[in-house]
Amino acid sequence: MTMRAATILIGACALLAGCGQKAEAPAAPAAAPEMTDAQKAALVATLPAPYNTADIENGKRKFGLCKSCHTIVPGGANLTGPNLHGVFGRKAGSLEGYNYSDAVKAAGFVWDGEHLDKWLAEPRTFLPGTKMTFAGLKDPKDRVDLIAYMKVESGYTAP
């Protein structure tokens, strides 16, 4: 290597080192801090009736029935069922990257408490042809609690 080439190489290395930039992928955005129980209770109180009186601890227990097929966290994986984060206000069958049944793709409604309540009561009769094998949640209070829990955990914002 000539003296001139070495000087250019050293200068280039110094310039790159001095710019403070790394050649790695940008960092993922920081996850939002988890809400406290008091913050969750305050959010429940702002929900429309009947969800504003829900027992979200019971809703959390009922969501245990859903966890084998669904995630609910931002960016969560699609399992047998789609990730449910952001489900409220989303058109049925529209989550990118999930292969819905033809029945759900053609449903034509936007998920809200009323549609989810009917779905959770009897998924197979509410929307015949669905792939969901869940038999349903018969107790209306359990459905209210589950829906309120899902609103709190899924990034719901009131329209």
Contacts of residue 114, defined as CB under 8 A and 6 or more positions apart, other chains included, come to none
Give pTM, 2 decimals.
Answer: 0.78
More confident residue, 122 or 6: 122
Report yes or no on 101 lying in a domain: yes
Dihedral, CA atoms, 27, 29, 30, 35, nearest 10 degrees?
Answer: -160
pLDDT digits (tens, 9 = 90+) for 137-154: 999 999 999 999 999 999
Confidence band for 121, pLDDT divided at 50, 70 and 90: very high
- Tell me the CB-side half-sphere exposure of residue 123, using CA atoms within 13 A: 16
With tokens 């936007």, the residue in question is: 110
Which CATH number covers residue 116?
A: 1.10.760.10
Residue 71 lies in a domain: yes
Q: For residue range 14-56, what is the model confidence (pLDDT) as tens digits?
A: 433 344 434 344 344 455 578 898 999 999 999 999 999 999 9
pLDDT per residue over 95-112, tens digit each? 999 999 999 999 999 999
Per-residue pLDDT, averaged over 76-90, amounts to: 96
Q: Confirm whether 158 is domain-assigned.
A: no
19 falls within a domain: no
Asked whether residue 3 is domain-assigned, the answer is: no
Upper half-sphere CA count for residue 105 (Cβ side, 13 Å): 8
- The DSSP output letter for 159 is -
Residue 6 covered by a domain = no
Please give the structure tokens belonging to residue 109.
């409604």
Percentage of the chain exceeding pLDDT 70: 79
Domain tally, the chain: 1
Average pLDDT of the residues of the chain: 84
Please report whether residue 1 resides in a domain. no
